[in-house]
């Protein structure tokens, strides 16, 4: 994702790469970020000096893991700037730290920055509100073999859209695993199925199964560039924005579209 973001910055008006960050143990340190991204030499070496990088930046884009995001937040306390984060798998305490930071700077947090996925989230919300308990809901997701969290953050966000639209608690109604004699499907359940294989970039389907018909809302990503494009759109959107916690629905104007 870092390479995709760097490549996207090169072709996005109004944005300039100020730094590319890797852990101190990374073998990529001192390599030219542009060359790593396949766009040619850009003169920005990969560094682990996060504090110095933040001093010369106006927005930071984070696609890491929860521990990396928390390290970033600790440094941002000294240099509050806009934060775009697509890191998933945060626990309650880590999420609270992110929420607290949003009081000092604009934060755009999204489980998925793909514009298409965020349209699917809105469509899922609309379908769930209309169908409510007339349809069983299952969310099927597939990712590459190296992804470490399951269900994906995007699958959980889709499940939350169903829960919010129908007045359910996702925590109480989510069914994440089925094995053995499970008995009949519980009423109001929101089921999840996970695939991890090969180099699948990301696929999500929300299945509404009613008596005599099915509705499927699907998104399939063939490249990480669509995620990068959404993150960069969010980065530009934060310019001049007040501190607060935002998501891609805010960036894309989807919240206004539903009012």
Instruction: Classify 209 as helix, strand or coil.
Output: strand
Report pLDDT for 81: 96
* Residue among 122, 143, 204, 219 flagged as catalytic: 143
Considering the candidates 71, 79, 147, 245, report the single residue annotated as catalytic: 147
Query: What is the pTM assigned to this prediction?
Result: 0.78
pLDDT at 256: 67
* SS3 sequence of 115-139: HHHHHHHHHHHHHHHHHHHHEEEEE
147 noted as active-site residue: yes
What is the SS3 assignment for 237?
A: helix
pLDDT of 255: 76
What are 169's two structure tokens?
């608690």
Residue 144 bears catalytic tag? no
10-residue mean pLDDT profile of the chain (259 residues): values are 92 92 94 95 95 95 94 94 93 96 96 90 96 96 94 94 97 95 94 97 96 96 88 94 95 73
Beta bridge partners of 202: 221
């Amino acid at each position: 994702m870092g390479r995709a973001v760097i490549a996207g910055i090169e072709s996005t008006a109004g944005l300039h790469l100020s730094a590319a960050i890797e852990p101190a143990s990374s073998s990529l340190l001192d390599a030219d970020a542009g060359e790593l991204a396949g766009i040619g030499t850009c003169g920005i070496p990969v560094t682990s000096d996060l504090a110095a990088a933040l001093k010369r930046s106006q927005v930071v884009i984070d696609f890491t893991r929860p521990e990396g995001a928390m390290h970033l937040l600790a440094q941002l306390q000294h240099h509050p700037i806009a934060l775009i984060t697509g890191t998933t798998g945060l626990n309650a305490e880590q999420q609270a730290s992110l929420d607290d930071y949003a009081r000092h700077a604009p934060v755009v947090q999204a489980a998925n920055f793909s514009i298409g996925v965020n349209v699917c989230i809105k469509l899922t919300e609309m379908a769930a509100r209309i169908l409510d308990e007339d349809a069983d809901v299952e969310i099927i997701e597939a990712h590459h073999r190296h992804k470490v969290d399951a269900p994906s953050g995007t699958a959980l966000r889709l499940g939350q859209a169903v829960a919010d639209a129908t007045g359910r608690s996702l925590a109480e109604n989510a069914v994440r695993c089925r094995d053995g004699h499970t008995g009949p499907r519980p009423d109001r359940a929101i089921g999840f199925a996970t695939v991890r294989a090969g180099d699948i970039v990301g696929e999500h389907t929300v299945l509404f199964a009613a008596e005599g018909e099915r509705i499927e809302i699907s998104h399939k990503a063939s490249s990480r560039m669509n995620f990068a494009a959404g993150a960069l759109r969010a980065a530009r959107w934060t310019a001049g924005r007040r501190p607060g916690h935002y998501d891609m629905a805010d960036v894309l104007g989807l919240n206004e579209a539903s009012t």
